[in-house]
Structure 1
Amino acid sequence: MHISNEEIIMGTDDKREMTNALDQAFPGIKRKLCCRHLKENIIRQTTNIIPKSTKELNDIVNLIFGKGGIALADDSAIFDGKNSGFKDSLITNGHADFLNYYDKHVEAKLLYHVITKFDKMRTNDNTESMNNRLKGLL
């Protein structure tokens, strides 16, 4: 049985080196971040916009990943509704800088997460050990 690279979905972190290595080794595969990495990336990349210790950042992360959050939308229509409300709340609460980051780096990944229905809130499981093994080859 032959499986084409286009049929493969591989969970990874979002490091440039890993992305480049996978693109070279498996051209055309689909990459997906686990929710843990998505959440960590948001927190790490936005601490200069919203301090990590603030309730605001926790509230934003919960709106994305918490119960009923954007990442748990059942389909793209529900995602669109939740996403629109989320973006409106960012503007209302004075977080235009975070909205810019979200638009550029997060929104498409979340939508892909919802559309593929690949283990809704899949976390790190085997991804980390694969990442570590592949990084050791770089």
Structure 2
Amino acid sequence: MQISENIELGSDDEKALTKAIEHVFPSARQYLCTKHLKDNIKFYLQNKVEIDKVESDKVMRSLFGSKSIMEANTTIKFENRLDKLEQLIKEKFDSFEQYYVNNLKPRLQKFVFKPNSRSNEKNTRSTTHSIHQQYFKNFY
């Protein structure tokens, strides 16, 4: 069986599933579901590190708002926005920094920017947010 190199797969960030996708479809573009990513980050901010809602919203806007990391369509924009978020976290949220550095940042680089940059090479605009809206808008 021959599998197209243009395959795109999304998941909910369950580690075993993302590893299985990498193993079975090594050339696939793999995305994280925006809804699950938002839910996981929001839960972590409010329940694990107990950041209040106002401060949590600042982090969420940096990730998912207008001109956010999710909307970056070039390497420079992505890295600049990632740096701004990292600075905000270092200044205000010590308890969130370890989670961000060890978990969130690598996942954003691998499952948000990497697939987006591959899409942009082919002159198309694709983000986890727009893919989520396109395929799942009728389910929420």
Tell me which residue corresponds to 2:50. 50
Q: Distance in 2 between matches of 1:62 and 1:89?
A: 12
CA distance in 1, matches of 2:114, 2:30: 13
Matched letter for residue 75 of structure 1: T
Amino acid at match of 1:39: K
Q: State the SS of the aligned residue for 1:87.
A: helix
What's the TM-score, normalizing by structure 1?
0.71
Partner of 2:102: 104
Q: Which has the higher contact order (CA 8 A, sep 6+)?
A: 1
Cα deviation for residue 13 of structure 1 reads 0.8
Matches within 5 A, 1:22-101: 22=21, 26=24, 28=26, 29-46=28-45, 47-51=47-51, 54-93=53-92, 95-101=93-99
Q: How big is the shift at 1:7? A: 5.0
Contact 1:34 1:123 in 2 (8 A): yes
Letter in 2 for 1:10: L
Work out which of the residue numbers 104, 123, 132 in structure 2 matches 1:123.
Answer: 132
Q: SS at the partner of 1:60? A: helix
User: Deviation above 4 Å: which 4+ runs of structure 1?
Assistant: none
**Shift of residue 30, structure 1, vs aligned partner:** 4.6
Specify every segment of 5 or more residues in structure 1 that has no aligned partner in the other structure, as ranges.
130-138
Residue 42 of structure 1 and its aligned partner are, at CA, apart by 0.9
Query: How far apart in 1 are the matches of 2:80 and 2:20?
Result: 35
- Separation in 1 of the partners of 2:73 and 2:22? 29
- Greater percentage in helix: 2
Give the alignment's TM-score, normalised by structure 2: 0.71
Structure 2 counterpart SS, 1:123: helix
Q: After superposition, what is the alpha-carbon deviation per residue over 1:47-94, rounded to whole angstroms, capped at 9, x for unaligned?
A: 22134x62111111111110011111111111111111211111222x
For 1:114 and 1:17, the matched residues in 2 are separated by 21
Distance 1:108 1:9, change over 3 A: farther
Q: How many equivalent pairs are there?
A: 123
Return 5+ residue gaps in structure 2 as ranges. 120-125
